[in-house]
Amino acid sequence: MPTLRHLPAALAAALVLAAATTACADGSGPSGPLPGPGFTGSWSVQRVTADGRSLAGPPAAHLTIEPTGSRTAEAKGNYGCNGFTAAVSYESGSEQSAVTVTPGSSTAMACEHMDFETAFAELLKGRLEVRRESADRLVLTAADGGTIELTSKPPVADAPLTVTEWTVTGLISGGTAASVTNQAAGRAVFTIGPDARASGSLGCNRFSAPAAIDGPRITFGPLSTTRMACTGPEGDLERTLTELLGSGGLTWRIQERTLTLTAADGKGLTARAASAAE
């Protein structure tokens, strides 16, 4: 069972504020301070900015508030991986709307997006001023100037690993990512079918291979390829991909429409999912 830790006070505050904006979700309300308490709402966290860094929120990062009294609410949500709860109170009588939070609890798992979660947790403390920029967008500002950007629009769903056409867009080596050269751009494309068999192009030759998916790891079996001689950037890309796919288990990660495959030695690739129009 996950252990609990105190949730940053400001986090719940964000939720409160999100709910307030729901009252104007039809876009008819004037801009400016939010209305009083009593509103419910669920918001996605688009971005946090703190200490000179701007971090995009993972798809799971969200805030939800439910009123519990005339000027109080219960906050729940997710930092991006870890869940949380908090008690929220509304502030009134000031030129700018604001919320404050009583720390609740959250899970304490080690997660993929820890940079974002840590920044979010550190930012969400104390009093937060609330600014509505549109019917579906809120910005929360902490005392140190850090901001939390919220939207009522649903986050972009992650593309599925299988039955998606992936176009290789970059190569990773030693912690550094580089885009595929213009000459080879769009040449390496692959799909992992529902039967867990991969097929596509390595940049020049067509290939197919069995693929075993085990949680966050995928292992490609022996590659069967056509036999065209490949030179130039396409040939270089093909040799790199052939070595990578044949190197054993790869860690896979998908964020929205971007797939990252990484080997144990740090080498890897990034690929982009084709859109419905494509």
Give tens-digit pLDDT for 191-237: 999 888 999 999 999 999 999 999 899 999 999 999 999 999 999 99
Task: Give 130 or 243, the one with higher predicted confidence.
Answer: 243
Q: How sure is the predictor about 134, in pLDDT bands with cuts at 50, 70 and 90?
A: confident
Whether the predicted pLDDT of 31 surpasses 80: no
- What does the chain look like in DSSP terms, one character per residue? ---EEEPPHHHHHHHHHHHHHHTTTTS-SPSBS---S---EEEEEEEEEETTEEEEPPTT-EEEEEE-SSSEEEEEEESSSSEEEEEEEEE-SSSS-EEEEEEEEEE----TTHHHHHHHHHHS-S-EEEEEEETTEEEEE-TTS-EEEEESSPPPPPPPSSS-EEEEEEEEETTEEEEPPTTTTTTEEEEE-TTSEEEEEESSSEEEEEEEEETTEEEE-PPEE------HHHHHHHHHHHHHHTSS-EEEEEETTEEEEE-TTS-EEEEEEPPTT-
Region 250-267: mean pLDDT is 91
Give tens-digit pLDDT for 139-187: 888 888 999 898 887 666 788 999 999 999 999 987 778 889 999 999 9
Whether the predicted pLDDT of 42 surpasses 90: no
Region 86-102: mean pLDDT is 72
In whole numbers, what is the pLDDT of the chain averaged over residues? 80
pTM tops 0.95? no
Whether the predicted pLDDT of 25 surpasses 80: no
